[in-house]
Amino acid sequence: MPAPIVIVGAGFSGAVVARELAEAGIASWVVDGRSHVAGNAHTERRSNGVMVHVYGPHIFHTAFENVWKYINKFGDMVPYNHRVKATSGGAVYSLPVNLHTINQFFGKTLSPAEAQQFIAENADSSIDTPVSFEDQALKFVGRELYEAFFKGYTQKQWGVSPTDLPASILARLPVRFSYEDSYFNHPYQAIPRDGYTPIVEAMLDHPLIEVTLNKTVTPEELSDAEHVFWSGPIDEYFKGKFGNLGYRTLDFVESEDTGDFQGCPVMNYCDVDVPYTRITEHKHFAPWESHEGTTLYTEYSRLAEPGDIAYYPIRQVKEKEQLLQYVQAAQEASGVTFMGRLGTYRYLDMDVTIKEALEVAEMFLNCRRDNRPMPPLVVDAL
């Protein structure tokens, strides 16, 4: 072990903690099983010049001032407004659901106030506290929009009925009664000019950080470590002793073409009989560049099998019960801190990951200064 503090995973969580510790004079060893840093945010330029989001679309968006300032220290973030289109029932619509979507879908010319009233009449007002994804959709947009835009896509993306998924997944998407069609509400939205990987490399570029790639480590191999920060799957750390937690993985079919294939970065396919969920045309993430060629990803979602890359924690009731057991095991463990999307089994965006990693690092430094043990879970994974 090159340093007594070991950070497992070189994604945003691991890189931020390593950097913060290094800035405070503490050396660490960052180890990752893959051949590159940046985890699922990894980007690569293809031979046609297009910057590809290798593990699917990653758009940086945040309302956290400190996170925005932080990421800007490590690379050039170019303002970018993410807009998504959706194909449903043979027509193309604007997403997230906004006044244009409502008027297009119902063939109307409603004003914002009229649309609000119209949707309120269509929505299911009997649902007080939405528990499932379906409840949430029926309460906020009503059955027709739910069936056109959410039901099929969600079934394909998660492999289970929207009645079995938490409402929080839909709460990620806004519903707007204006023509504002930006996918996110956050004040800061950007894409790094040179991709995410150089940003993470810059975070890790410090004399007190040693990075080893292409190496998987087990907790046993790290038993001599003074402290381990674990951003791999929490169930993997405990060898799946309470059963494997469910994750969705993605398969991307990559193809190349010339010109402009679809005229937008992401086209969602909401019909359940179209087998893929979306097509990403990567060059539209960098509108400041110009390329003759174009690279496309057709995205398919399925249940992750052992050895597959985990993308999304499913968090159905069954998994939440298992998670409770893993969280208890984590609370009883010492010398290890779980963090990130996989370490805490939560559907985290990049900005929240960075924010929490900054908090984890700060807590570690405070505990060390005060000679207190570091808690294994700084955030509530449940």
User: Which residues are the active-site residues?
Assistant: 172, 176, 248, 278, 299, 347, 349
Nearest Cα residue to 284 out of 59, 72, 62: 59
231 lines the binding site for ligand UDP (CB under 6 A): no
Which sign does the torsion angle of CA 97, 98, 102, 104 carry? negative
DSSP E strands in 201-290: the ranges are 209-212, 227-230, 247-258, 266-269, 278-281
Given candidates 12, 105, 140, 150, which one binds ligand UDP under the rule CB under 6 A? 150
# residues near ligand UDP by CB under 6 A: 13
**Residue 313 contacts residue 319 (beta carbons within 8 Å):** yes
CA-to-CA distance for 24 and 27, rounded, in angstroms?
9
CA-to-CA distance for 177 and 97, rounded, in angstroms?
8
**Minimum CB distance to ligand UDP smaller for 156 or for 227:** 156
> Residue 313 in 3-state DSSP?
strand
285 lines the binding site for ligand UDP (CB under 6 A): no
353 lines the binding site for ligand UDP (CB under 6 A): no
Chain position carrying tokens 């510790």: 21
Given candidates 31, 38, 71, 86, which one binds ligand UDP under the rule CB under 6 A? 86
**Minimum CB distance to ligand UDP smaller for 145 or for 245:** 145
Number of residues written out for the chain: 382
**Identity of the residue numbered 98:** N
Given candidates 40, 94, 98, 268, which one binds ligand UDP under the rule CB under 6 A? 268
Chain position carrying tokens 């001032």: 65
Nearest Cα residue to 364 out of 373, 352, 356: 373
172 lines the binding site for ligand UDP (CB under 6 A): yes
80 lines the binding site for ligand UDP (CB under 6 A): no
342 lines the binding site for ligand UDP (CB under 6 A): no
**Minimum CB distance to ligand UDP smaller for 131 or for 213:** 131
Given candidates 29, 80, 149, 297, which one binds ligand UDP under the rule CB under 6 A? 149
354 lines the binding site for ligand UDP (CB under 6 A): no
- Residue 290 burial by CB count (10 A; 0-12/13-18/19+): exposed, middle or buried? exposed
**CB 8: neighbour CB atoms within 10 A?**
29
Contact characters 90-129, ligand UDP, x per CB under 6 A: -----x----------------------------------
In whole angstroms, the minimum distance from the beta carbon of 202 to ligand UDP comes to: 25
Nearest Cα residue to 272 out of 134, 148, 185: 148
**Minimum CB distance to ligand UDP smaller for 19 or for 282:** 282
CA-to-CA distance for 204 and 194, rounded, in angstroms?
16
314 lines the binding site for ligand UDP (CB under 6 A): no
Given candidates 270, 358, 361, 378, which one binds ligand UDP under the rule CB under 6 A? 270
Given candidates 98, 101, 157, 280, which one binds ligand UDP under the rule CB under 6 A? 157
**Positions 5 through 44 that interact with ligand UDP (CB under 6 A):** none
Given candidates 31, 50, 169, 209, which one binds ligand UDP under the rule CB under 6 A? 169
In whole angstroms, the minimum distance from the beta carbon of 86 to ligand UDP comes to: 5
Nearest Cα residue to 264 out of 251, 282, 250: 282
Strands of the sheet with 336-338, listed across from one edge? 209-212, 28-31, 5-8, 227-230, 336-338
**Minimum CB distance to ligand UDP smaller for 173 or for 217:** 173
Which residues make up the interface to ligand UDP (CB under 6 A)?
Answer: 86, 95, 149-150, 153-154, 157, 169-170, 172-173, 268, 270
